[in-house]
């Protein structure tokens, strides 16, 4: 009896999924095209946004090596596709890619972080939401602990106020804590 019920349930589920796909196909192309054009025209246009990082620093990896660890850590700051509107214009957001490799060259982990990743670990979200990632540096720990520490500096474009966050990550690329 159980097998009959499971088979009947699976058949009903497949039938329901097939009906929604058929309904999607029957939508006229003009309705889809007008909906697509309406969504693209309502998005804000990015005009001459500025960057808080010099163009020569974007996309270049800074490599760090500790004597107590068998890892090399490279940090690359890149320009993000999103931007932030402020009173005097707009600024591009930035991302950071942290890559840890062994001395043999094999990759331990690769992680791309946004400033928004810090929000989950802090009590006050407002300074992070109103700032842009400006600089990321490796902080040596001088011990054999299995974690990596980086300092992320955020700058508020309007007030030029900077905020520093110390991010601790394990060897899997997971954020352990943020100070």
Question: Could you tell me the pTM of the whole model?
Answer: 0.67
Q: How many structural domains comprise the chain?
A: 2
Residues 66 and 129 in one domain: yes
Taking the chain, what is the end-to-end CA distance rounded to the nearest angstrom? 58
Question: For tokens 């029957």, what's the residue?
Answer: 26
Domain span at residue 10 reads 2-42
DSSP conformation class of 170: E
- What value, to the nearest 5°, has the Cα angle with vertex 138 and ends 147 and 81? 105
Q: What are phi and psi of 178, to 5 degrees?
A: -135, 130
Quick count: other Cβ atoms within 10 Å of Cβ 110?
A: 12
Give yes or no: residues 112 and 161 share one domain: yes
* Same domain, yes or no: 65 and 32: no
84 and 111, same structural domain?
A: yes
22 CB neighbour count, 10 Å cutoff: 8
Strands 132-139 and 107-113: unpaired
**pLDDT tens digits, residue range 26-36?**
444 444 444 44
Over the stretch 110-160, which tens digit does the pLDDT of each residue have? 999 998 888 888 888 888 888 899 899 999 877 777 889 999 999 988 888
């Amino acid at each position: 009896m159980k097998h009959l019920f499971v088979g009947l349930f699976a058949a009903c589920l497949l039938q329901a999924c097939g009906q929604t796909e058929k309904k999607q196909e029957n939508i006229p192309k003009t309705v889809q095209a007008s909906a697509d054009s309406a969504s693209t025209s309502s998005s804000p246009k990015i005009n001459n946004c500025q960057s808080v990082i010099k163009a020569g620093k974007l996309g270049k990896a800074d490599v760090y090596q500790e004597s107590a660890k068998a890892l090399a850590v490279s940090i690359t700051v890149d320009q993000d596709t999103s931007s932030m509107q402020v009173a005097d214009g707009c600024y591009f957001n930035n991302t950071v890619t942290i890559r840890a490799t062994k001395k043999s060259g094999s990759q331990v982990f690769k992680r791309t972080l946004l400033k928004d990743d810090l929000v989950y670990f802090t009590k006050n979200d407002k300074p992070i939401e109103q700032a842009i990632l400006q600089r990321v540096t490796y902080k040596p720990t001088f011990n054999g602990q299995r974690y990596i520490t980086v300092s992320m500096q955020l700058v508020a474009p309007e007030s030029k106020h900077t905020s520093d966050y110390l991010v601790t990550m394990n060897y899997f690329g997971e954020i352990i804590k943020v100070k």
